[in-house]
Amino acid sequence: INMENSSSVKEFILLGLSENQEVQKIYFVVFLLFYTLTVAGNLLIVLTVTSSQHLNSPMYFFLCHLSFVDICYSSVTAPKMISGLLVENNTISFAGCIGQLFGFHFFGCIEIFILTAMAYDRYTAICRPLRYPTLVSRRLCGRMVGGSWVGALLHSTLQTLPTALLPFCGPNKLGHYFCDVHPLLHLACADTRVVSLVTVANGGVISLSCFLILVMSYVVILVSLRGQEPAGWRKALSTCGSHITVVILFFGPCTFVSVRPSGDLSEDRSVAVFYTLIAPMLNPLIYTLRNREVKGAMRKLCSRKV
């Protein structure tokens, strides 16, 4: 895309979460802590899974990729937002804005697909345990992760390209702390109804369809557990509890923003903080606090490093 010819606006001013300088200082400390914990926690999971010989099941294969994507996903928006809290005008170039838009949807979509693949893994492990090794092979897991990257590339292209081709002739104040479709459509000097419909349909179909697949998989799991002993229920739910928690934390806010048309950007900003920074930070805590194998592997890794 020829960025120079498609827009007369060379840069955007990101208005951020607040215009109050004192509040921005508080945000800086809090969000810097959140981002540090996000990178450190997810990086620790990646190192733990890749270095442990015992964490070689498909569940941990997906968990390792999920943690890597979480680092990339937060890094698309968080550093720019945090550094912008210390300056009066947080600006981003037009090309940088489009790149951020692409990266945000790319890694966010990969996360959605990997969470859906993890639901299939849990369904197979609980409902078809005897056929689990053949139904969820290492080769299939690799294909599912590879398909997630290809599908996310297609999704982010469909989100980014129509927006990038819109004319932007001013104003250039973006009512958000990062570049997303809805705030950019508010600044375009053209009729954006078609683009808005396409982007909402694209994001909404992916979010809702994957969410419905996740819900259906757990409904089937619960139905299959009828008549089993309480010990069987506890074992099955313990393997699914972490995944269900992560799905609720990520899909709830993400679906809210994806399926609704452009509206109040202040609501989008508040909700976006949750799924771009807080949810990726909580994922390592959720998976390690509920998983003895991961905690044990982490202790061994830390003892070896020390």
**What pLDDT does 154 receive?**
94
Which residue ranges form the domains of the chain, and what is each CATH number? 11-303 (1.20.1070.10)
Question: In three state form, how does the secondary structure of the chain look?
Answer: CCHHHHCCCCEEEECCCCCCHHHHHHHHHHHHHHHHHHHHHHHHHHHHHHHCCCCCCHHHHHHHHHHHHHHHHHHHHHHHHHHHCCCCCEEEEHHHHHHHHHHHHHHHHHHHHHHHHHHHHHHHHHHCHHHHHHHCCHHHHHHHHHHHHHHHHHHHHHHHHHHHCCCCCCCCEECCCCCCHHHHHHHCCCCCHHHHHHHHHHHHHHHHHHHHHHHHHHHHHHHHCCCCCHHHHHHHHHHHHHHHHHHHHHHHHHHHHHHCCCCCHHHHHHHHHHHHHHHHHHHHHHHHHCCHHHHHHHHHHHHHHC
Average pLDDT per block of 10 residues along the chain, 306 residues long:
58 84 88 94 90 84 92 93 87 93 94 90 85 88 95 93 88 87 87 84 82 85 74 66 76 66 63 84 77 75 67
**What pLDDT does 153 receive?**
96
**What pLDDT does 156 receive?**
93
**What pLDDT does 155 receive?**
92
**What pLDDT does 52 receive?**
81
**What pLDDT does 258 receive?**
61
